[in-house]
Copies of this chain bind each other. A is one copy, B any other.
Amino acid sequence: MRSLSPGKIAVFLTVLSLALGTISMRAQFPPALNLMPVPAKAQTGSGFLRVDETFRLSFAGYQEPRLEHAGQRFLEQLHRQTALVFASRETVDPAKATLLVTTEHESKTVQELGEDESYTLDITSSGAKLHAANPLGVLRGLQTFLQLVTITPEGFGAPVVSIQDQPRFSWRGLMIDSGRHFMPIAVLEHNLDGMEAVKLNVFHWHLSENQGFRVESQKYPKLHELGSDGLYYTQTEIRGLIAYARDRGIRVVPEFDMPGHSTAWFVGHPELASGAGPYQIERKWGVFDPAMDPTNEKTYKFLNEFISEMAKLFPDAFFHIGGDEVNGKEWDANPTIQEFKRAHGIKDNNGLQAYFSQRVQELVVKHGKTPIGWDEILVPGVPKSIVIQSWRGADSLAAAAKQGYRGILSNGYYVDLGWSAARHYAVDPLGGAAANLTPEEQKLVLGGEACMWSEYVDPENIDSRIWPRTAAIAERLWSSADVRDPASMYARLPGISQRLEWVGLNHRTYQRRMIERMAGAASPEELAALQLVVEALEPVKDYTREGIGAEPTSQTPLNRVADAVFPESEEARLFSGKVDEYFASSCKDAALASELRAQLVKWAGNDARLRPLAERSFLVQEASPASSALSQAAEVALAALDRITLGVPLTPDLRKQQLDAQNALELQAHKVQLTIPLLPAFQKVIDAATAGAACTISK
């Protein structure tokens, strides 16, 4: 994983123009083209195409119901964006269209990897033309048009521009884990809408886990009846979701994780397991012992029937068999399995898993699908047709490519880790060792997938853990490799985030409800104090949350401050940007100093304002250590800022003492699963206040 160089991130100073060679270099606000992902080529002109109630959409060339649906959705979204009432929704005469869409021919009956998604979009002040080889390109181009529509001094409009666009990678996915926390169909639909908006094209649906088996099986109904607490998708719902995805140009790849991560299968079918059973649905998180018995022919008979059923239900050419994280304990404890290993000369559990994996892959191929699995399935001798999904990293992916295997990158795109958008954005499927692959080998790197593992998300906050950061990942996977400036990305992200709520996601609005739940009956001042602390903090990163506090389970309510805070605090990012700006002025910008001061004063005094609420609410009380740490840290930074403005430097000893204090405060916040993303900015202020540091000298 390459870390982002901590350069100055000037918000709203768009450097989008760097990515669009033909656009002038002039930094401007608002961005010239507020698009995410950035298109391959764009030539801007001057002026706008007016978008008013006379707007008409028309389709020429190849026609199909999916295009009609796309047109309806387009007009609905355009209405949401503008509130304009379009006089007629009927198909109109192409000659009178404001936006004329021309499609050359159909796409595949079942959407395939690598289909043409290119399009051209030409907008002049009198009309717009979208042209694509097939409906997939049309879907992409319509989203580009919608993103371009904005408010102007004279009404709504789309800027004059000429775009030629196609994706860099053909596999651009989002994985949602419906196993650990069940996600209702409506939640998935909104997320498919979000995927369409940022041109993602694969929904990887993680459907079985230790904590739940989520698909109705008509052949083996005990799988979902006993393995899901009643929380599963019917086959009708699944077909509906696949059709919903197809309408949006998105493939649906199902994952049934085997031979581990499979406790929920064994509740109804203990005969598949390597242990003695009986089994219960797992309530805790982690890697567990239960695993399928790879030595029992009945396992393969069962899986043959099961895969046969699922291969018909899910039309996509790929079938994900998981394969990750088997700890081997049940295998070691089972004498029959040990005997099997000896008899077949299998020297360790990796070998046993390879044997299982090979058998399952044969079944998948038999039922007409291409197997895909996590890194672990790549063992010597496995057929070159399989696809590796790498949770281990780009180097692992590069190694696979060197052996001739196709792969997709997920390491670096785990959105459950709470990383910043910039950190995900810096990860490239062709980065690391992959950068040294030959062009032919690089073609084997198909793309990547954002992964939403669901230990700490429920239907209420999952959108906020996926979006808007996944839009940055989507840009990494669609746009040219040289579109990589985080300042430009952050300049455009708020606009995309806003539009994603228009399609039905709740990644911003969820927070107020959670704050109000934690507050109960509260005064406006108390609510404001709680909001201030929630907006300034972030959840602890990576999987550190696992080790903090009482052991969480799938029944633990996700109603705490750690569940309510954004993974990436906008407030903290904006403040940090202003601190950098202040230092760039050599601490001479007095207005900025006073703005920073006012913000620090607010944070410093906030814990006291929150106290009465903490006394009434156990959830606010629980977060008190973090609230108090934030206020104390702000207090220290405030004193340092005052020293800068007064020209009274800190001694190095005091500096060290204060930085130590900041570190201690961060640990205090960690105790309640929170982190203070403002600390690096606060530390910069302390550094700058120190005798000998740049700003004090320059005064």
Interchain nearest-CB distance for A563 vs B (Å)? 8
Tell me the bound Cα distance from A81 to B618 in angstroms. Answer: 15
**CB of A487 to closest CB in B, whole Å:** 14
Give how many A residues have a beta carbon under 8 Å from the other chain's beta carbons. 54
Interface check A522, CB cutoff 8 A: yes
Given contacts A155-B618, A516-B498, contact A150 B521 (CB under 8 A): yes
CB distance from A630 to the nearest CB of B (A): 20
Bitwise interface map of A from 12 to 54 toward B, beta carbon under 8 Å scored 1, else 0: 1000000000000000011100100000000000000000010
- Which A228-285 residues sit within 8 Å CB-CB of chain B? 230
CB-contact partner of A558 in B83, B150, B460, under 8 A? B83
- Alpha-carbon distance between A616 and B157 when the two chains are bound, in angstroms: 12
Complex interface bits, A613-641 against B, C-beta within 8 A gives 1, otherwise 0: 00111110100000000000000000000
Known: A83-B458, A83-B557, A153-B618. A501 touches B522 (CB 8 A): no
A559-B83 contact given A151-B616, A502-B513, CB 8 Å threshold: yes
- Tell me whether A523 is interfacial, beta carbon within 8 Å: yes
Q: Give CA–CA (A559, B621) in the complex, Å.
A: 41
Interface residues in A80-101 (C-beta closer than 8 Å to B): 81-85, 87, 89
Q: Provide the A319-361 mask, 1 if CB < 8 A to any CB of B, else 0.
A: 0000000000000000000000000000000000000000000
Is A430 positioned at the interface, with any CB of B under 8 Å from its CB? no
CA distance A230 to B574 in the complex (A): 47
With both beta carbons as reference points, the residue of chain B lying nearest to A14 in the complex is identified as B521
A524 contacts across to B, CB distance below 8 A: 570, 574
Q: Which of B34, B82, B558, B570 contacts A557 (CB 8 A)?
A: B82
Q: A518 to chain B: which residues have CB within 8 Å?
A: 151
The answer to whether B618 touches A83 (Cβ under 8 A) is no
Q: Closest CB of chain B to A159's CB: distance in Å?
A: 11
- Does B521 contact A30, Cβ atoms closer than 8 Å? yes
Name the B residues within 8 Å of A53 (CB-CB).
555, 557
Which B residues touch A663, using CB under 8 A? none
Contacting pair A520 B617 (CB below 8 A): no
Collect the chain B residues with CB atoms within 8 Å of residue A508's CB. 512
Per the bound structure, the CA–CA distance linking A140 and B460 in Å amounts to 27
Contact pattern, A 513-547, Cβ under 8 Å of B = 1, otherwise 0: 10011111111100000000000000000000000
Report the bound CA distance from A85 to B563 in whole Å: 15
Q: Which residues of B contact A653 (CB under 8 A)?
A: none
Flag whether A154 is at the interface (Cβ < 8 A): yes
Bound Cα distance A53, B283 (Å): 14
Q: Given A31-B521, A87-B555, A517-B83: A618 and B495 within 8 A (CB)? A: no
Chain B residues lying within 8 Å of A521, measured Cβ to Cβ, are 29-31, 34, 150, 495
Tell me the bound Cα distance from A398 to B259 in angstroms: 77
Max chain B CB contacts within 10 Å: which of A87, A518, A521, A619? Answer: A521
Q: Is the CB of B520 within 8 A of A151?
A: yes
Mark each residue of chain A from 61 to 88: 1 if its CB lies under 8 Å from any CB of chain B, else 0: 0000000000000000000011111010
Which residues of B have CB within 8 Å of A34? 521
In the bound assembly, the distance between CA atoms of A230 and B152 in angstroms comes to: 32
Distance of A662 from chain B, by nearest CB (Å) = 26
- Which of A508, A513, A619: most chain B Cβ within 10 A? A513
The minimal Cβ–Cβ distance linking A601 to chain B, given in whole angstroms, is 12
Q: Determine whether A556 belongs to the interface, using a CB cutoff of 8 Å to chain B.
A: yes
Q: Please, which residue of chain B has its CB at the minimum distance from the CB of A560?
A: B83
The answer, among B29, B83, B502, for a CB contact under 8 Å with A523, is: B29
Which residues of the other chain, B, contact A385 by a CB distance below 8 angstroms? Answer: none
CA distance A571 to B151 in the complex (A): 27
Minimum CB distance partner of A571 in chain B: B524
List residues of chain B with CB within 8 A of the CB of A29: 521, 523
Q: What residues of chain B lie closer than 8 Å to A512, measured between beta carbons?
A: 508-509
A558 proximity list for chain B (CB < 8 A): 83
Instruction: Decide: A617 and B557 in contact? CB cutoff 8 A.
Output: no
Shortest Cβ distance from A149 into B: residue: B520
How far does the alpha carbon of A498 sit from the alpha carbon of B570 in the complex, in Å?
25
A146-189 interface (Cβ within 8 A of B): 150-155
Identify the closest chain B residue to A523 (Cβ): B12
A471 to chain B, nearest CB (A): 15
Which B residue's beta carbon lies closest to that of A518? B151
Q: Which residues of B lie under 8 Å from residue A563 when comparing CB positions?
A: 83
List residues of chain B with CB within 8 A of the CB of A556. Answer: 85
Known contacts A30-B522, A618-B154; A82 and B555 CB within 8 A of each other: no
Contacts of A391-413 to chain B: CB distance below 8 A: none
Q: Write the nearest CB–CB distance from A145 to chain B, whole angstroms.
A: 16
Give Cα A155 to B153, complex, Å: 52
Q: How far is the CA of A194 from the CA of B155 in the complex (A)?
A: 36
A23 CB to nearest chain B CB (Å) = 16
List the B side residues contacting A31 at CB < 8 Å.
521
Binding site for B on A (CB under 8 A): 12, 29-31, 34, 53, 81-85, 87, 89, 150-155, 230, 458, 460, 495, 498, 501-502, 508-509, 512-513, 516-524, 554-559, 563, 570, 574, 615-619, 621
A501-B513, A524-B570 are known; give 5 further A-B pairs, CB within 8 A: A83-B558, A83-B563, A150-B520, A151-B518, A151-B616
What 5 A-B pairs have minimum CB-CB distances, sorted nearest first?
Answer: A30-B521, A83-B559, A151-B520, A83-B557, A151-B617
